[in-house]
Structures are given as C-alpha cells and as structure tokens.
Amino acid sequence: MQSFDLGKEGLRALNSSLHALKGQTNMTAWEVINPKGAHAIAAGVDAPVDITVRGSTGYYCAGMNKQATIRIKGSAGPGVAENMMSGAVIIDGDASQYAGATGRGGLLVIKGNASSRCGISMKGIDIVVHGNIGHMSCFMAQSGNVVVLGNAGEALGDSLYEARIFVRGTVKSLGADCIEKEMRDEHFAIVEELLRRGEADHKAKPEEFRRYGSARKLYNFNIDNASAY
C-alpha cells in the first residue's frame, strides 16, 4: 500500500501522483492520512485503484472520479463525487451539500446523512444514502437511481427528468412535476441490487420503499402549466 501523509507532503503532490496513474498500474492500494478537511482530495483520478482517506474531507473530494474506489473514513464536505464518471465513492460519515452533483456514472454510498441538493442534475450515477437527504435533492435529475433508507426533505425531485428516486421513510414534500409512482418488479430488482452494492441490504428490504419520478408535464413549455415553472 502507498501511504501518503497529506499534512507533510501536500495536496498538489498527492493529486499529481494519482493523476500519473494512467490506465493500468500495479500501485493499486493507496492510503491518505491527515486529510484535515482539505479540498479536492483525490479529484480527477482515472485509474483502477483503491484509495482510503482516513479522516474527513473538504470540498469536491473524489470529483470527476473514473475507475477508482475511494473510501472516506469520516465525513465529506460539499460536492463530494461531483461529476463522477465511474468507480465508487464510499463515505462512512455524512455528506454536505450537492453530493454526487451532475454525476454521470458509478456508485456513491453515504452511510450517514446527506445534506441539501443530493444528486442535483445527476446524469446516470447511482446513489445510496443510509440516512436522510435534505431539501431540493435530485433537482433536475436526468437519469440514474437514488435509494434513501431514511427520510427526504422538501421539494424532492423538483423539475425531475427520468431519474428514479426510492425512499424508505417519509417525504416532506415533492417538487414541481415529481409524483409517486408504482413499484414494479424491475424497480424492486433495482433497489435490491443497489442495497447490496451500497452495503445496506442488512438494513432494509426492497418492498419497504416507495418510488418517485417525473410526471413529464414540464419537458416542453406549456402555457397551461406556467405556474409550475
């Protein structure tokens, strides 16, 4: 395992070393110690490596991740896994605002709670939250899946496109054009698989979830729906 002391060697040296791991590498296991809430830790990684960050992180940890599995042994600041392309980001603690924003692929697991705007404008990422999510989560979410074992805040799925939202607990309110939908066999299968991959299958069962999605009334401007925009 490659051990990197961020307090001594600095963020630029860490990310430069990780960016140098283009494609295949035999340096597959990395450990980052003394993160002390630094921003942009392990951002822009594009290699099949396993990175463990031992502590909490600041803004944009694991942003633009491709291929890597990044484990945060603490909590994460705003924008964790922002614009992630593939791989996995697993957070043992809580996540601040807009976790997984604009994510295009891969899996984000938050074992605590997520703050507001979780999954905003997501474009294919899968997100599993063991706790609760805050207000305006999945705003303008385009595709992908969000599985929430806890509760959801206000305006869930506002201006939603085709992302699927599964919530086990209560929803404070739904945003514009977001409605509850029927859980069919294919949706139970999606939830079951994501609970397994998100290390939450021992906490919940697929049949305990409700599905929310787009009513598809705001795709194109319609004067009759003007008050909803």
Residue-wise pLDDT for 160-184, tens only, equals 999 999 999 999 999 999 999 999 9
Q: Are 198 and 108 in contact (CB under 8 A)?
A: no
Q: What's the predicted TM-score (pTM) here? A: 0.95
Query: At 181, phi and psi to the nearest 5?
Result: -130, 165
Predicted confidence (pLDDT) at residue 64 exceeds the cutoff of 70: yes
For residue 69, what are the domain limits? Answer: 2-228
The number of folded domains in the chain is 1
DSSP 3-state of 202: coil
Q: Assign 26 a pLDDT band (cuts: 50, 70, 90).
A: confident
Instruction: Quote the tokens at residue 166.
Output: 């599964």
User: 3-state DSSP helix/strand/coil percent for the chain, to nearest 5?
Assistant: 15, 30, 55
Q: Are 137 and 117 in contact (CB under 8 A)?
A: yes
Residue-wise pLDDT for 78-107, tens only, equals 999 999 999 999 999 999 999 999 999 999
Distance (Å, whole) CA 94 – CA 113 = 5
Q: Specify the amino acid at residue 26.
A: N
Distance (Å, whole) CA 152 – CA 157 = 10
Q: Assign 9 a pLDDT band (cuts: 50, 70, 90).
A: very high
Mean pLDDT of 198-221: 92
Predicted confidence (pLDDT) at residue 8 exceeds the cutoff of 90: yes
Instruction: Quote the tokens at residue 35.
Output: 């993160």
Q: Assign 22 a pLDDT band (cuts: 50, 70, 90).
A: confident
pLDDT value of position 165: 98
Mean pLDDT of 109-129: 98
User: Could you tell me the CATH number of the domain that includes residue 23?
Assistant: 2.160.20.60
Mean pLDDT of 3-27: 89
